[in-house]
Structure 1
Amino acid sequence: MPIQTHYLTSNPYSRPRLPLYKVTKLVIHWVGNPKSSALSNRNYFENLKLGRTKTYASSHYIVGLDGEVIQCIPDNERAYHAKSANSYSLGIETCHSDWEGKFSSCTYNALIALCAMLCQKYGLDPREDLLRHYDVTGKCCPKYYVVHPEAWTQLKEDVHKQMC
Protein backbone atom coordinates (compact mmCIF):
# COMPACT_ATOMS: atom_id res chain seq x y z
CA MET A 1 0.00 0.00 0.00
CA PRO A 2 1.53 3.34 -1.00
CA ILE A 3 1.73 5.87 1.81
CA GLN A 4 2.68 9.46 1.02
CA THR A 5 4.87 10.94 3.72
CA HIS A 6 4.12 14.62 4.34
CA TYR A 7 5.27 15.16 7.91
CA LEU A 8 4.04 18.22 9.74
CA THR A 9 6.54 20.83 10.83
CA SER A 10 7.49 20.52 14.50
CA ASN A 11 5.34 22.88 16.54
CA PRO A 12 3.40 22.90 19.83
CA TYR A 13 -0.07 22.74 18.22
CA SER A 14 0.08 19.76 15.86
CA ARG A 15 3.47 18.03 16.07
CA PRO A 16 4.90 18.34 19.57
CA ARG A 17 7.56 15.64 19.01
CA LEU A 18 6.57 13.86 22.22
CA PRO A 19 7.50 10.17 22.17
CA LEU A 20 4.96 7.42 21.63
CA TYR A 21 6.80 4.49 23.16
CA LYS A 22 4.45 1.61 22.33
CA VAL A 23 1.48 1.43 19.97
CA THR A 24 -1.31 -0.57 21.60
CA LYS A 25 -4.39 0.86 19.85
CA LEU A 26 -5.49 2.45 16.56
CA VAL A 27 -8.11 5.20 16.84
CA ILE A 28 -10.30 5.88 13.80
CA HIS A 29 -11.79 9.33 13.15
CA TRP A 30 -13.80 11.07 10.47
CA VAL A 31 -12.58 14.50 9.38
CA GLY A 32 -15.99 16.11 9.98
CA ASN A 33 -15.59 18.18 6.81
CA PRO A 34 -17.42 16.52 3.87
CA LYS A 35 -15.69 16.36 0.48
CA SER A 36 -12.40 17.69 1.86
CA SER A 37 -9.26 15.95 0.66
CA ALA A 38 -6.57 14.18 2.64
CA LEU A 39 -4.08 16.86 1.62
CA SER A 40 -6.35 19.74 2.68
CA ASN A 41 -6.82 18.10 6.09
CA ARG A 42 -3.07 17.59 6.39
CA ASN A 43 -2.57 21.27 5.53
CA TYR A 44 -5.14 22.26 8.16
CA PHE A 45 -3.00 20.49 10.77
CA GLU A 46 0.13 22.14 9.37
CA ASN A 47 -1.41 25.61 9.59
CA LEU A 48 -2.17 25.15 13.28
CA LYS A 49 1.54 25.88 13.86
CA LEU A 50 0.71 29.56 13.39
CA GLY A 51 -1.08 29.50 16.75
CA ARG A 52 -3.93 31.77 15.67
CA THR A 53 -6.66 29.54 17.07
CA LYS A 54 -4.69 27.87 19.90
CA THR A 55 -6.11 24.56 18.62
CA TYR A 56 -4.22 21.33 19.31
CA ALA A 57 -5.01 18.69 16.68
CA SER A 58 -3.33 16.20 14.37
CA SER A 59 -3.27 12.56 13.32
CA HIS A 60 -0.68 10.10 12.19
CA TYR A 61 -2.51 9.18 8.98
CA ILE A 62 -5.26 10.58 6.78
CA VAL A 63 -7.16 8.38 4.31
CA GLY A 64 -8.56 10.37 1.39
CA LEU A 65 -11.67 10.17 -0.76
CA ASP A 66 -9.82 8.31 -3.52
CA GLY A 67 -8.06 5.92 -1.15
CA GLU A 68 -4.81 7.87 -0.91
CA VAL A 69 -3.03 7.72 2.44
CA ILE A 70 -0.93 10.53 3.86
CA GLN A 71 1.27 10.10 6.91
CA CYS A 72 1.55 13.36 8.91
CA ILE A 73 3.47 12.21 11.98
CA PRO A 74 5.91 9.30 12.46
CA ASP A 75 4.52 6.33 14.37
CA ASN A 76 6.99 6.88 17.22
CA GLU A 77 5.65 10.37 17.99
CA ARG A 78 2.36 11.41 19.59
CA ALA A 79 -0.38 13.12 17.64
CA TYR A 80 -3.16 15.21 19.19
CA HIS A 81 -6.19 13.12 18.25
CA ALA A 82 -7.81 11.36 21.20
CA LYS A 83 -6.93 13.04 24.50
CA SER A 84 -5.95 10.29 26.98
CA ALA A 85 -5.20 7.77 24.21
CA ASN A 86 -2.58 9.97 22.51
CA SER A 87 0.25 8.37 24.48
CA TYR A 88 -0.41 4.82 23.25
CA SER A 89 -2.38 5.03 20.00
CA LEU A 90 -2.05 5.97 16.35
CA GLY A 91 -4.73 8.31 15.00
CA ILE A 92 -6.24 7.76 11.57
CA GLU A 93 -8.44 10.51 10.11
CA THR A 94 -10.78 9.40 7.34
CA CYS A 95 -12.34 11.59 4.64
CA HIS A 96 -16.02 11.26 3.72
CA SER A 97 -18.32 12.74 1.10
CA ASP A 98 -21.32 13.85 3.18
CA TRP A 99 -22.54 14.53 6.71
CA GLU A 100 -23.78 10.95 7.12
CA GLY A 101 -20.09 10.02 7.25
CA LYS A 102 -20.13 6.65 5.52
CA PHE A 103 -16.79 6.03 3.83
CA SER A 104 -16.70 5.46 0.07
CA SER A 105 -15.53 2.05 -1.13
CA CYS A 106 -12.12 3.51 -2.14
CA THR A 107 -11.70 5.13 1.27
CA TYR A 108 -13.00 2.10 3.14
CA ASN A 109 -10.72 -0.35 1.31
CA ALA A 110 -7.66 1.84 1.88
CA LEU A 111 -8.56 2.20 5.57
CA ILE A 112 -8.93 -1.57 5.92
CA ALA A 113 -5.54 -2.14 4.24
CA LEU A 114 -3.85 0.53 6.38
CA CYS A 115 -5.31 -0.83 9.62
CA ALA A 116 -4.38 -4.41 8.69
CA MET A 117 -0.81 -3.35 7.93
CA LEU A 118 -0.52 -1.41 11.20
CA CYS A 119 -2.10 -4.21 13.24
CA GLN A 120 0.40 -6.68 11.79
CA LYS A 121 3.30 -4.31 12.35
CA TYR A 122 2.42 -3.74 16.03
CA GLY A 123 0.93 -7.15 16.89
CA LEU A 124 -2.59 -5.79 17.41
CA ASP A 125 -5.92 -7.62 17.21
CA PRO A 126 -8.34 -5.39 15.28
CA ARG A 127 -11.34 -6.84 17.10
CA GLU A 128 -9.90 -5.53 20.39
CA ASP A 129 -7.37 -2.84 19.49
CA LEU A 130 -9.24 -0.82 16.88
CA LEU A 131 -11.20 2.01 18.52
CA ARG A 132 -13.50 4.77 17.39
CA HIS A 133 -12.73 8.23 18.72
CA TYR A 134 -16.14 7.78 20.38
CA ASP A 135 -14.82 4.83 22.41
CA VAL A 136 -12.14 7.05 23.96
CA THR A 137 -13.91 10.39 24.47
CA GLY A 138 -17.63 9.88 23.76
CA LYS A 139 -17.45 12.24 20.76
CA CYS A 140 -19.69 11.19 17.84
CA CYS A 141 -16.69 10.26 15.67
CA PRO A 142 -16.55 8.62 13.20
CA LYS A 143 -20.24 9.50 12.98
CA TYR A 144 -21.48 6.73 10.67
CA TYR A 145 -19.76 4.08 12.77
CA VAL A 146 -21.17 5.48 16.01
CA VAL A 147 -24.72 5.66 14.62
CA HIS A 148 -24.33 2.21 13.01
CA PRO A 149 -22.42 0.04 15.51
CA GLU A 150 -22.99 -3.04 13.35
CA ALA A 151 -21.00 -1.34 10.56
CA TRP A 152 -18.19 -0.75 13.06
CA THR A 153 -18.19 -4.44 14.01
CA GLN A 154 -18.03 -5.30 10.30
CA LEU A 155 -15.14 -2.88 9.72
CA LYS A 156 -13.10 -4.54 12.48
CA GLU A 157 -13.93 -7.96 11.07
CA ASP A 158 -12.85 -6.80 7.58
CA VAL A 159 -9.50 -5.69 9.00
CA HIS A 160 -9.11 -9.08 10.68
CA LYS A 161 -9.90 -10.92 7.40
CA GLN A 162 -7.38 -8.74 5.52
CA MET A 163 -4.68 -9.83 7.97
CA CYS A 164 -5.28 -13.56 7.36
Structure 2
Amino acid sequence: MRGARTRRRRNPRFAALCLLLIFAAVGAAVWLWAGRGLPGEGVEVPDYVQADLLTVNPWSRPGTPLEKIDGIVIHYVGNPGTTAKANRNYFESLSSGETETYASSHFIVGLEGEVIQCIPLTEIAYASNIRNEDTVAIEVCHPDETGAFSPAAYQQVVELTAWLCRTFDLDPDTDVIRHYDVTEKLCPLYYVEHPDAWDAFRADVAAEMERQTEVS
Protein backbone atom coordinates (compact mmCIF):
# COMPACT_ATOMS: atom_id res chain seq x y z
CA MET A 1 0.00 0.00 0.00
CA ARG A 2 1.35 3.38 -0.94
CA GLY A 3 2.58 5.42 2.03
CA ALA A 4 2.74 2.46 4.40
CA ARG A 5 5.91 2.19 6.53
CA THR A 6 7.98 -0.90 6.41
CA ARG A 7 8.44 -2.28 9.94
CA ARG A 8 12.01 -3.10 10.85
CA ARG A 9 12.66 -6.27 12.77
CA ARG A 10 14.39 -5.73 16.08
CA ASN A 11 17.50 -7.68 16.81
CA PRO A 12 16.91 -9.42 20.15
CA ARG A 13 20.64 -9.81 20.69
CA PHE A 14 21.19 -6.08 20.28
CA ALA A 15 18.38 -5.28 22.75
CA ALA A 16 19.80 -7.72 25.27
CA LEU A 17 23.23 -6.17 24.89
CA CYS A 18 21.80 -2.70 25.52
CA LEU A 19 20.07 -3.87 28.69
CA LEU A 20 23.25 -5.54 29.85
CA LEU A 21 25.21 -2.33 29.35
CA ILE A 22 22.61 -0.31 31.24
CA PHE A 23 22.63 -2.70 34.19
CA ALA A 24 26.43 -2.70 34.21
CA ALA A 25 26.54 1.10 34.27
CA VAL A 26 24.06 1.30 37.14
CA GLY A 27 25.91 -1.38 39.06
CA ALA A 28 29.21 0.40 38.57
CA ALA A 29 27.73 3.66 39.84
CA VAL A 30 26.38 1.96 42.95
CA TRP A 31 29.70 0.22 43.52
CA LEU A 32 31.61 3.48 43.18
CA TRP A 33 29.26 5.23 45.61
CA ALA A 34 29.52 2.44 48.15
CA GLY A 35 33.28 2.41 47.77
CA ARG A 36 33.51 6.05 48.71
CA GLY A 37 32.31 5.34 52.22
CA LEU A 38 31.01 7.97 54.62
CA PRO A 39 33.00 11.21 55.06
CA GLY A 40 33.63 10.56 58.75
CA GLU A 41 34.60 6.92 58.25
CA GLY A 42 38.10 6.13 59.52
CA VAL A 43 38.61 9.63 60.97
CA GLU A 44 40.39 9.54 64.32
CA VAL A 45 39.35 12.27 66.74
CA PRO A 46 42.01 14.25 68.64
CA ASP A 47 43.44 12.85 71.87
CA TYR A 48 41.58 15.39 74.00
CA VAL A 49 38.22 13.91 72.92
CA GLN A 50 36.75 11.27 75.23
CA ALA A 51 34.42 8.88 73.43
CA ASP A 52 31.33 8.08 75.51
CA LEU A 53 28.91 7.09 72.78
CA LEU A 54 25.19 6.92 73.33
CA THR A 55 23.46 3.60 72.86
CA VAL A 56 21.67 3.30 69.54
CA ASN A 57 18.02 4.27 70.02
CA PRO A 58 15.26 6.14 68.16
CA TRP A 59 15.39 9.27 70.34
CA SER A 60 19.01 10.39 70.60
CA ARG A 61 21.16 8.13 68.42
CA PRO A 62 19.16 6.71 65.53
CA GLY A 63 22.23 5.31 63.77
CA THR A 64 21.31 7.06 60.50
CA PRO A 65 24.38 7.48 58.26
CA LEU A 66 25.81 10.98 57.95
CA GLU A 67 26.44 10.81 54.22
CA LYS A 68 27.93 14.29 53.84
CA ILE A 69 29.45 16.94 56.10
CA ASP A 70 28.88 20.43 54.77
CA GLY A 71 28.98 22.38 58.02
CA ILE A 72 29.43 22.61 61.76
CA VAL A 73 26.64 23.87 64.02
CA ILE A 74 27.47 25.45 67.38
CA HIS A 75 24.93 25.15 70.23
CA TYR A 76 24.79 25.96 73.93
CA VAL A 77 23.32 23.51 76.42
CA GLY A 78 20.90 26.03 77.96
CA ASN A 79 21.49 24.66 81.48
CA PRO A 80 23.93 27.01 83.26
CA GLY A 81 26.64 25.35 85.32
CA THR A 82 25.99 21.79 84.12
CA THR A 83 28.84 19.54 83.04
CA ALA A 84 29.54 17.84 79.75
CA LYS A 85 28.99 14.47 81.43
CA ALA A 86 25.61 15.52 82.83
CA ASN A 87 24.43 16.66 79.42
CA ARG A 88 25.71 13.47 77.81
CA ASN A 89 23.76 11.46 80.38
CA TYR A 90 20.65 13.52 79.64
CA PHE A 91 20.89 12.54 75.97
CA GLU A 92 21.27 8.91 77.04
CA SER A 93 18.21 9.13 79.28
CA LEU A 94 16.09 10.05 76.27
CA SER A 95 16.59 6.52 74.94
CA SER A 96 13.77 5.33 77.21
CA GLY A 97 11.30 7.29 75.07
CA GLU A 98 9.37 8.42 78.14
CA THR A 99 9.59 12.11 77.29
CA GLU A 100 9.30 11.56 73.51
CA THR A 101 12.13 14.06 73.03
CA TYR A 102 14.61 13.92 70.17
CA ALA A 103 17.97 15.46 71.09
CA SER A 104 21.70 14.80 70.93
CA SER A 105 24.99 16.18 69.66
CA HIS A 106 28.18 14.78 68.21
CA PHE A 107 30.33 16.55 70.79
CA ILE A 108 29.84 18.33 74.11
CA VAL A 109 32.48 20.78 75.35
CA GLY A 110 32.52 21.16 79.13
CA LEU A 111 33.20 24.10 81.42
CA GLU A 112 36.81 23.05 81.96
CA GLY A 113 37.43 22.36 78.30
CA GLU A 114 36.77 18.62 78.44
CA VAL A 115 35.22 17.15 75.29
CA ILE A 116 32.86 14.18 75.17
CA GLN A 117 31.91 12.53 71.89
CA CYS A 118 28.34 11.19 71.96
CA ILE A 119 27.75 10.31 68.31
CA PRO A 120 30.23 8.92 65.74
CA LEU A 121 31.14 11.17 62.82
CA THR A 122 29.51 8.61 60.54
CA GLU A 123 26.02 9.15 62.01
CA ILE A 124 23.61 12.05 62.32
CA ALA A 125 22.77 13.72 65.63
CA TYR A 126 19.39 15.16 66.55
CA ALA A 127 20.56 18.74 67.08
CA SER A 128 20.10 21.04 64.11
CA ASN A 129 16.70 20.27 62.59
CA ILE A 130 16.88 20.37 58.79
CA ARG A 131 20.68 20.46 58.94
CA ASN A 132 20.99 17.21 60.89
CA GLU A 133 21.67 15.33 57.67
CA ASP A 134 24.80 17.26 56.63
CA THR A 135 26.37 18.84 59.71
CA VAL A 136 28.38 18.04 62.82
CA ALA A 137 26.87 19.41 66.04
CA ILE A 138 28.81 20.78 69.02
CA GLU A 139 27.05 21.57 72.30
CA VAL A 140 28.94 23.87 74.67
CA CYS A 141 28.47 24.19 78.42
CA HIS A 142 28.35 27.66 79.98
CA PRO A 143 28.67 28.92 83.56
CA ASP A 144 25.70 31.34 83.72
CA GLU A 145 22.49 32.43 82.07
CA THR A 146 24.20 34.81 79.64
CA GLY A 147 25.28 31.77 77.66
CA ALA A 148 28.84 33.07 77.26
CA PHE A 149 31.33 30.22 77.14
CA SER A 150 33.94 29.95 79.87
CA PRO A 151 37.50 30.74 78.73
CA ALA A 152 38.47 27.05 78.82
CA ALA A 153 35.35 25.97 76.93
CA TYR A 154 35.78 28.75 74.39
CA GLN A 155 39.37 27.82 73.61
CA GLN A 156 38.49 24.14 73.29
CA VAL A 157 35.51 24.64 71.01
CA VAL A 158 37.68 26.88 68.82
CA GLU A 159 40.29 24.12 68.63
CA LEU A 160 37.73 21.39 67.95
CA THR A 161 35.92 23.43 65.32
CA ALA A 162 39.21 24.26 63.58
CA TRP A 163 40.14 20.57 63.52
CA LEU A 164 36.77 19.66 62.01
CA CYS A 165 37.11 22.40 59.39
CA ARG A 166 40.55 21.14 58.39
CA THR A 167 39.45 17.50 58.38
CA PHE A 168 36.38 18.04 56.21
CA ASP A 169 37.65 20.98 54.14
CA LEU A 170 35.20 23.54 55.54
CA ASP A 171 35.38 27.35 55.57
CA PRO A 172 34.74 28.89 59.01
CA ASP A 173 33.30 32.03 57.40
CA THR A 174 30.51 30.16 55.64
CA ASP A 175 30.35 26.61 56.99
CA VAL A 176 30.47 27.26 60.76
CA ILE A 177 27.02 28.38 61.84
CA ARG A 178 24.83 28.81 64.90
CA HIS A 179 21.68 26.85 65.63
CA TYR A 180 20.04 30.26 65.24
CA ASP A 181 21.10 30.38 61.61
CA VAL A 182 19.06 27.24 60.94
CA THR A 183 15.86 27.85 62.90
CA GLU A 184 16.23 31.31 64.50
CA LYS A 185 16.25 29.65 67.91
CA LEU A 186 18.27 31.80 70.33
CA CYS A 187 21.11 29.30 70.45
CA PRO A 188 23.92 29.75 71.35
CA LEU A 189 22.30 32.64 73.21
CA TYR A 190 25.31 34.88 73.88
CA TYR A 191 26.55 34.58 70.30
CA VAL A 192 23.12 35.40 68.90
CA GLU A 193 22.74 38.46 71.12
CA HIS A 194 26.34 39.55 70.41
CA PRO A 195 27.00 39.12 66.68
CA ASP A 196 30.42 40.74 67.08
CA ALA A 197 31.39 37.94 69.47
CA TRP A 198 30.26 35.40 66.89
CA ASP A 199 32.36 37.06 64.20
CA ALA A 200 35.32 36.99 66.58
CA PHE A 201 34.72 33.29 67.25
CA ARG A 202 34.87 32.41 63.57
CA ALA A 203 37.97 34.56 63.15
CA ASP A 204 39.59 32.67 66.04
CA VAL A 205 38.67 29.37 64.34
CA ALA A 206 40.36 30.54 61.14
CA ALA A 207 43.49 31.56 63.07
CA GLU A 208 43.54 28.21 64.88
CA MET A 209 43.28 26.40 61.53
CA GLU A 210 46.43 28.20 60.38
CA ARG A 211 48.21 27.31 63.60
CA GLN A 212 47.24 23.64 63.31
CA THR A 213 48.43 23.58 59.72
CA GLU A 214 51.80 25.02 60.70
CA VAL A 215 52.42 22.47 63.45
CA SER A 216 51.11 19.44 61.54
Superposition TM-score, scaled by structure 2 size: 0.75
* Percent identity for Structure 1 against Structure 2: 52
Q: Shift of residue 91 of structure 1?
A: 0.6
Q: Normalized per residue, which structure has more helix?
A: 2
User: Which of 130, 144, 149 is the aligned partner of 1:98?
Assistant: 144
User: Which of 171, 186, 196 is the aligned partner of 1:150?
Assistant: 196
Following superposition of structure 1 onto structure 2, how do residues 102-117 of structure 1 map, counting pairs within 5 Å? 102-117=148-163
CA-based RMSD: 0.5
Instruction: Kindly provide the CA deviation profile for residues 10-32 of structure 1, in whole angstroms up to 9, marking residues without a partner as x.
Output: 00000000011111100000000
2:79 maps to 1:40: no
Q: Distance in 2 between matches of 1:23 and 1:89?
A: 5
Q: How many residues align?
A: 164
- The runs of at least 4 consecutive aligned structure 1 residues that moved more than 6 Å come to none
User: Which of 17, 20, 25 is the aligned partner of 2:71?
Assistant: 25
Q: Which runs of 5+ in 2 are unaligned?
A: 1-45, 211-216
Which structure would you say has the larger Rg?
2
Q: Shift of residue 102 of structure 1?
A: 0.5
Q: Distance in 1 between matches of 2:80 and 2:111?
A: 10
Q: Distance in 1 between matches of 2:107 and 2:113?
A: 12
User: Which of 48, 67, 74 is the aligned partner of 2:120?
Assistant: 74
Instruction: Kindly provide the CA deviation profile for residues 41-67 of structure 1, in whole angstroms up to 9, marking residues without a partner as x.
Output: 000000000111000000000000000
